[in-house]
Amino acid sequence: MIQITPQMRVLVAVEPVDFRRGIDGLARTCRAELGADPFSGAVFVSRNRRRTALRILVYDGQGFWLCYKRLSSGRFRWWPTNADEPVTSLEAHELSVLLRAGDPASVKTAPAWRPLKNKA
């Protein structure tokens, strides 16, 4: 079973990916186009051209997980549009919002880490 923890890096491909590719094709895309190692344990998220489906690729130390979600109606409203970078990152809780076809940019949460102030 796949479990996404707060410590995992979540990388989102900005451009759509050809969903006819299997695990090996998506791993090549991670390496060549995103500049990331598919064996790193990071969560790689990509979408199809019509924004109706997502694919998630994760290596868990023994093998790859390939998860697919297609919306029964509508489209994913939010997707990163940074043309300068091929990939952007999300926090684990933002990925949960995205998987429910929500907008992770509108999620208001506490920062993942903040320094403690010295009361001296």
DSSP 73-89: SS--------SS-SEEE
What's residue 120's pLDDT? Answer: 61
pLDDT tens over the chain, length 120 residues: 678 888 899 999 999 999 999 999 999 999 998 899 999 999 999 999 999 999 999 999 999 999 999 999 999 989 988 778 888 899 888 999 998 988 888 887 777 676 777 766
pTM, two decimal places:
0.84
In three-state secondary structure terms, 40 is helix
- 8 A C-beta contact, residue 26 and residue 47: no
End-to-end CA distance of the chain: 48
**What are the two backbone dihedrals, phi and then psi, of residue 117, each rounded to the nearest 5 degrees?**
-85, 135
- 8 A C-beta contact, residue 10 and residue 92: yes
- Give the span between the Cα atoms of 55 and 17, in whole angstroms: 9
